[in-house]
Structure 1
């Protein structure tokens, strides 16, 4: 159930909704999770626009982007981590129409602690999420019964 948060100065991106959708789909692909409703409905990206003056480096520049990717523990191996950072950085720069933004985009990879996924009003462990996903996969793969 990955969550992606993108923080940037207001006006950085031409189409925030498309960027959010593309980031979510890209992460699902990199993670190689099954394309089932449970994962599609709960993999999301949020684009946070910060008002002028709410972002700065030491020198006062505010043309930076921060992307935080929250996944369950162990969801991404090292190659997948590298792919997420590389692809998300490029996608952010493309969405901003500014290839120099590659050098000013920070991607933070964060793993949730066990019990750290609140979903459906319940704090879920990794095992609970895996069990629920397997159940949904089995239900989708079961032959449809005649009604």
Structure 2
């Protein structure tokens, strides 16, 4: 049940809503989540316009993708897949080249993932899968 934040200069994406849906779908696929309603409803992407964005040279043609997953959700192969999928999607959705798409993968601490007022750990998330 990852959360994705995509940061870019205003106007970078022609269809930010489509990008958000597709990013969530791509990350579900990379994480190999089962296609269950709870995972579909709790995997989301947020596209943010950043007022000031530039590298040291003053070039603002870049995109930062921040992914937050529950602890242990992405092994090394899934990390590689997630970065590749999101980079390809962002580059295809904008004029930003793939080498200017930066993907940061972050894990919440065990039990540090909350939904509906409940802090969920790995056992809690596994129970959801087992109930389906």
Q: What is the TM-score of this pair, normalised by structure 2? A: 0.94
- Quick one: which of 89, 112, 118 aligns to 1:116? 112
Per the TM alignment, residue 133 of structure 1 is displaced from its structure 2 partner at its CA by 3.1
Contact 2:7 / 2:50 at 8 angstroms: preserved in 1? yes
Give unpaired runs (5+ residues) of structure 2.
none
Aligned length: 132
Measured in 2, the distance between the counterparts of 1:41 and 1:133 equals 14
Equivalent in the alignment of 2:7: 7
Measured in 1, the distance between the counterparts of 2:127 and 2:8 equals 36
Deviations along 1:78-111, one digit per CA (max 9) or x if unpaired, are 1111111111111101101x2x521111000111
Equivalent in the alignment of 1:128: 124
Per the TM alignment, residue 41 of structure 1 is displaced from its structure 2 partner at its CA by 0.3
Equivalent in the alignment of 1:144: none
Q: What is the TM-score of this pair, normalised by structure 1? A: 0.85
Give unpaired runs (5+ residues) of structure 1.
138-147
SS of the residue 1:19 aligns to? helix
Deviations along 1:4-23, one digit per CA (max 9) or x if unpaired, are 11000000001101111111
Measured in 1, the distance between the counterparts of 2:14 and 2:40 equals 24
- Quick one: which of 62, 67, 70 aligns to 2:68? 70
Contact 2:24 / 2:43 at 8 angstroms: preserved in 1? yes
Deviations along 1:102-121, one digit per CA (max 9) or x if unpaired, are 11110001111012111101
Deviations along 1:56-88, one digit per CA (max 9) or x if unpaired, are 211211111000111112211211111111111
Per the TM alignment, residue 132 of structure 1 is displaced from its structure 2 partner at its CA by 2.7
1:47-58 matched pairs, under 5 angstroms: 47-51=47-51, 54-58=52-56
Pick the structure with greater CA Rg.
Answer: 1
Contact 2:31 / 2:82 at 8 angstroms: preserved in 1? no
